[in-house]
Structure 1
């Protein structure tokens, strides 16, 4: 479903490419997971992803002053996963492609608040075990979910095209994780990450 949504969005951008404006955003983010998982196959052991820092550029297209579509082009993110009493046991590298449709509340001030809704994906690779689970095979699946966004852009008085922005995103992400050894898979669970992503950055509109 997310792939079809992204395709429709990109087609819309192509059709309207001469009608609006493009904006490039470059920001730094704190990725703060809100979920945790109790793994029944491991005796109810609690596991959770830890906070991470990320470089999160994005491209945004404005259909008019109020409506835009934004594609998040974040650099690969490393997520360490810790288990209660064991410390960090898994590291997952992943990409979080996200597309949101946004509404901007234009007003007489230089602050422009906005909200957005859309979809996100969790595409993992280079996952590996560490610490107490070192040597265990780790397989992490893809995950797709809802994405929400709220924030504002501020344009200084002497700025024609550039500004600074802050926003907070929520992403619904719960990839399936399988842990295996020489005897086969001994644990399988959905890792509830569900992060809040807080971003501060620079925007430039063409």
Structure 2
């Protein structure tokens, strides 16, 4: 599904009729979970949390004509998270965090364009592993609400290139199963800090 979205977006970008409406971004993101007190397996594991992670995060944005409103789809190369309980590593997993936000861009006469957004996010886990254990860990796809604030800067109004920085917050968790038995939810609720380049067509 994610690959289809990317292909469709790139096809749309190739159309001259959309010139000026699309922007692509290439950023680097730090994902910083805020939830550090998960309890799993009926109390056998306490103070469970996911650690910080970093990844490349391209995104595609569409601007609706003369409204200040845009829609941005955040993509990513996979993040890898280590999971600890009371400071001891117990598991790891990789995941993709596609996030769609509807944004309002505060256009003005300067090169700086602040924006705010709200939308939905997903965490798509894979490659789950238990540390030193021969058991099967399964993390389910999770969904949540996301918010975003940021700033885009273009040195010259006529330039296509720019710089951006933004912060997202997502309320998201994943249901965990061990050998097919549900053992609890891993809440992540991360802040995602991103900086990078933008190019508007």
C-alpha root-mean-square deviation of aligned residues, in Å? 2.3
- Aligned partners of 1:149, 1:62: CA distance in 2, in Å? 16
Moved over 6 A (4+): none
Q: Contact 1:20–1:61 (CA<8 Å) still a contact in 2?
A: no
Structure 1 residue 154 corresponds to structure 2 residue 153: yes
- Aligned partners of 1:157, 1:99: CA distance in 2, in Å? 28
- Aligned partners of 1:56, 1:178: CA distance in 2, in Å? 29
Helix, strand or coil at the partner of 2:108: coil
1:182-203 C-alpha deviation (Å, 9 max, x unpaired): xx74x61111101000000000
Structure 1 residue 73 corresponds to structure 2 residue 83: no
Alpha-carbon distance, 1:26 to partner: 0.1
- The verdict on how the C-alpha distance between 1:68 and 1:158 changes in structure 2, with shifts beyond 3 A counting, is closer
- Aligned partners of 2:138, 2:41: CA distance in 1, in Å? 18
Helix, strand or coil at the partner of 2:62: strand
Alpha-carbon distance, 1:88 to partner: 1.3
Helix, strand or coil at the partner of 1:41: helix
Alpha-carbon distance, 1:136 to partner: 2.6
1:80-125 C-alpha deviation (Å, 9 max, x unpaired): 111114x211111111111110000011211100001010111111
Contiguous gaps of at least 5 residues in structure 2: none
- The verdict on how the C-alpha distance between 1:156 and 1:19 changes in structure 2, with shifts beyond 3 A counting, is closer
Contiguous gaps of at least 5 residues in structure 1: 1-5
TM-score, with normalisation over the residues of structure 2?
Answer: 0.85
